[in-house]
Structure 1
């Protein structure tokens, strides 16, 4: 709450009225929450579900478009919120994620005097002493900071071995803006956590906190500098990859100085061809490098959009990077990564979960697959997985054993039929992708987009297949051990089966068998709530009409009846929509 109170102090120089900003974010959220309640919860209760469904895609698109406008207007974390939401395929409909996936920092630069003051306050010296030259025109302006080219002073140049640098400086007052934006988002998360249909589907407060952690990391340039050095150490043996060097003497939490590595943007096909570089080779190399980060180092660049990846010609005529770091000749170009504020890590827990998932898929074990999904945190603890296990078992029965090439040849109608058949089961499950999964999906979606732009026929399945195979080979010993343990477990279950059957028969004879029918129970509960709402609606109508008639003879009593009618109306409209905090 400290950040929330600090963020609402009022007007901050160079930032604007933070109270107005806070209220504007909440007004936007409240407006579209009410709209969603009206269309998605209220109207379907009166038999208008088909009408709602016909206009759903257009409504979702309009909401996303208006949020886009709001985000660009406000800047700050709102642009990051849009980028974050565009990757939450587990939570948001595709109409929203698609509309927001192209959202980039579209903000005007901060006037140079304010940047100079911020940089000098951080570095503790005048800018003219810290750098031999500093360009007043920014290279790039973003919602959290902006970058300027500069030249190191003689002593720093001697220490570093280079003089051309890029200096990132945080926007003045950005910490206060972040505090305000997070305070507003936390309140919206609390609103949503009280809506039962949302709380059963996703833990909104946890989702907001996940975003908050990522956002706070992005405004800590010391953390970004450490990420850059760790990434460089991991890539030290790979001649295909280069990383800018950190100038620690001119780096603080709010100022970051890196060697200038500006080159050809990875998606500039014309410039690549003009430099004699094959875009298709760049696509294959880029995918290979990213997969090795995921399956090898486990520490990967989670924001590899075209603005963060350069292709740097080296001027040597040798085997291209597609030959790998062990190629016979030096590469003629490199992939240069920048901006290490958003990094992902494949944790040991995630590795174990992925290994279990591989085992389950290999053995076509529906229950094992669901268990492994739960192990990595994709399912909320409240999930009733029995229906999902049955769906996965049928999925394996229909598509199990098919390779990548075979799956690509399957009739799309069969996939659609399967999706329709099991759609209700999946939609009812409280899925939520944990942060590591989210970053993996974000990185892979960006890689796919970049590679497809470089080579229209690029096939992501073919690119990832060798690495998936390597993962299987690396984990083969663990797979055998786990399979052996599973066999022992199955043997133990088989040995205990006769005794359990005897006990089961005894309970039948004694009349002590209780049958649980969760789906029937849920339907009965819904019918009971519907009946109560119908009674409330009838009571509302009686009180309203009676009050209207009585007003002609007893105005006060008639008005009281009409006012009291609002209570059963509220029950008829809202009962069952709002529930307790968290999953039910």
Structure 2
């Protein structure tokens, strides 16, 4: 009943804010129009459409806010007025009361607020769907940011995830496309990452790992965590000072090289994905700033590490080979990789899949980013995958989402950016390092400590292995001899029993013959 009420609330919200005019305009069902008239009294049609969509998503809760955040980066797919309104979801979600935030901080640390901080700004500097952030100063004078988890988040998310699981099960049972797209596995991945966001200690650990990974790149800054003040519901980190990346005019006026900034963003993303297999997977503009400090001028500042994507070595190798094949327009290799990885059914003809991939991608090469819609490319690829029954890999959903974010950011910073030509040299260099002599040398160097430990033990290990083999063969020979003796004894016993049986039968036949002789005589 609770789930039915939630579904009813979603339908009511859609109709109340007039979203049927945006998303359901093509539906001609009479019952839908009739239902709209029933709730017409509460409909809010006076506000602009973008504002109505934003308010509806805020009303529906954190999962829908996350959806709106992703949509806000797709200015090539959305009208500008709608995209501008959805951008407010990134850091301007209505905050919860400051008194409640202060109480949560005191509860987390078990001390009064002023015993932890020299000062604490009651007004939040940012408010998102999962948590909100307050600036503060520690007793030692360090400026910090305090992130506080929204109360009641777990219950709200669990309720919506239950609905998503049921919907995914219905889709999977009801259509062939549903089975191919693995909706239940996709929802399970979404479930995992949402729950990760609800544990702020996990977020702090993600930030620490990303900070270590990015130290040598000198293109991006990650705040340092104050580990003594990190709990599952509240974390404290170094305060970062920067300008939101969406404020392009302000950055340009400050002297930031915008085209270089766009290229650096691509480099950061591909470094995190293909070098480290550990990437920031929530890269919407609300989570990215640019430093204007003299010592770090023009560097990215990453914030909010609740959603982090990871890739295995096989995932990275497969993806890199696919990207390089795309960049070289080697569509046959792309088709072969789909078959080798098991993404496409075994009976798929390579030449047919090659032709389909070529038709999807060839029109988009050698064109600036402003003329390329990755959404349209993905739509064409989806149609192709549908034709060839290619399975969607749930473990790559976050990577796909982040690629969409990167495209949105690149389009906003530099519409002339050629994403393909910017990424191609990096991927080719990475593949050479993995496959060539340099990659072999690096792997040998990484394994050197293990080899150094094993080499002195190698003679003893070899002797033990040989001795174990000798003992095994001796035991096997003894076992075989014992078994042969048992078989011989069994044969002798069988022969003795056979003799006894034949003797008994002969004795019985003799008695029978004697009786018959006596009867015949008399």
Q: 1:271 to 1:200 in 2, by over 3 A?
A: same
Q: Does structure 1 residue 250 correspond to structure 2 residue 229?
A: yes
Aligned positions, number: 405
1:346 equivalent in structure 2: 311
1:451 equivalent in structure 2: 410
2:101 equivalent in structure 1: 115
1:24 equivalent in structure 2: 9
Q: Does structure 1 residue 373 correspond to structure 2 residue 334?
A: no
Name whichever of 305-314 and 350-359 sits farther off: 350-359
1:464 equivalent in structure 2: 423
2:348 equivalent in structure 1: 386
1:225 equivalent in structure 2: 204
Report the alpha carbon displacement of residue 82 of structure 1 after superposing the two structures with TM: 4.5
Rounded Cα–Cα distance in structure 2 between residues aligned with 1:344 and 1:264: 25
Post-superposition Cα deviations, 1:305-342, rounded to whole Å, max 9, x if no partner, equal 222222212325xxxxxxxxxxxxxx644222111111
Structure 1 counterpart SS, 2:102: helix
2:300 to 323, 331, 335: 335
1:273 to 252, 259, 282: 252
Report the alpha carbon displacement of residue 228 of structure 1 after superposing the two structures with TM: 0.6
Q: 1:436 to 1:68 in 2, by over 3 A?
A: farther
Q: If the length of structure 2 is used for normalisation, what is the TM-score? A: 0.65
Q: 1:209 to 1:459 in 2, by over 3 A?
A: same
Q: Does structure 1 residue 150 correspond to structure 2 residue 129?
A: no
Q: For 1:34-433, list aligned pairs within 5 A.
A: 69-83=55-69, 102=86, 104-105=89-90, 107-153=93-139, 157=140, 163-315=142-294, 332-354=297-319, 357=322, 364=330, 366=332, 369-370=334-335, 372-373=337-338, 383=345, 386=348, 389-394=350-355, 405=366, 425-431=384-390, 433=392
Post-superposition Cα deviations, 1:142-190, rounded to whole Å, max 9, x if no partner, equal 121111111112xxx3xxxx61111111111111111111122222222
Structure 2 counterpart SS, 1:133: strand
Report the alpha carbon displacement of residue 425 of structure 1 after superposing the two structures with TM: 5.0
Rounded Cα–Cα distance in structure 1 between residues aligned with 2:71 and 2:251: 32
Rounded Cα–Cα distance in structure 1 between residues aligned with 2:246 and 2:198: 27
Q: 1:434 to 1:449 in 2, by over 3 A?
A: same
* 1:287/1:463 contact within 8 Å kept: yes
* 1:119/1:169 contact within 8 Å kept: yes
Rounded Cα–Cα distance in structure 2 between residues aligned with 1:397 and 1:423: 14
Structure 2 counterpart SS, 1:336: strand
The one of the two structures with greater contact order (alpha-carbon pairs below 8 A, sep at least 6) is 1
Post-superposition Cα deviations, 1:290-317, rounded to whole Å, max 9, x if no partner, equal 222223222221222222222212325x
Post-superposition Cα deviations, 1:511-565, rounded to whole Å, max 9, x if no partner, equal xxxxxxxxxxxxxxxxxxxxxxxxxxxxxxxxxxxxxxxxxxxxxxxxxxxxxxx
1:569 equivalent in structure 2: none
Rounded Cα–Cα distance in structure 2 between residues aligned with 1:359 and 1:289: 18
Post-superposition Cα deviations, 1:340-365, rounded to whole Å, max 9, x if no partner, equal 11122231120232355478777957
Report the alpha carbon displacement of residue 217 of structure 1 after superposing the two structures with TM: 0.9
- Compare CA radii of gyration and give the structure with the larger one: 2
Structure 2 counterpart SS, 1:192: helix
Rounded Cα–Cα distance in structure 2 between residues aligned with 1:150 and 1:66: 34
Report the alpha carbon displacement of residue 95 of structure 1 after superposing the two structures with TM: 7.9
Q: Structure 2 unaligned runs (5+)? A: 30-48, 441-522
Q: 1:393 to 1:337 in 2, by over 3 A?
A: closer
Q: If the length of structure 1 is used for normalisation, what is the TM-score? A: 0.58
Post-superposition Cα deviations, 1:241-260, rounded to whole Å, max 9, x if no partner, equal 22111111111111111111
Rounded Cα–Cα distance in structure 2 between residues aligned with 1:19 and 1:164: 47
Rounded Cα–Cα distance in structure 2 between residues aligned with 1:214 and 1:252: 18
Structure 1 counterpart SS, 2:404: helix
Structure 1 counterpart SS, 2:216: coil
Rounded Cα–Cα distance in structure 2 between residues aligned with 1:222 and 1:244: 14
Q: Structure 1 unaligned runs (5+)? A: 9-17, 43-62, 89-93, 317-330, 482-584
Rounded Cα–Cα distance in structure 1 between residues aligned with 2:232 and 2:409: 31
* 1:295/1:467 contact within 8 Å kept: no
1:579 equivalent in structure 2: none
